[in-house]
Amino acid sequence: MNAEEATRKISEICLLAPVIPVLVVNNIAHARPLAEALVAGGLPVLEVTLRTPVALDVIRIVSRVPGAIVGAGTLLTSQDVADAKQAGAQFGVSPGVTDALLTACESESLPLLPGAATATEAMSLLAKGYNVLKFFPAEANGGVPVLMSLAGPLPQVRFCPTGGITPENVERYLELSNVLCVGGSWVAPQAHMEAERWDDIQEMARCASELGG
Residues that are catalytic: 47, 134
Residue type, 77: T
DSSP code of residue 28: G
Number of DSSP helices (H) and strands (E) in the chain, helices first: 10, 9
3-state secondary structure of 126: helix
Question: CA 7, CA 122: separation in Å to the nearest integer?
Answer: 13
H or E element at residue 19:
strand 19-23
Residues 6+ apart with CB under 8 A from 101: 75, 76, 77, 78, 81, 94, 112, 114
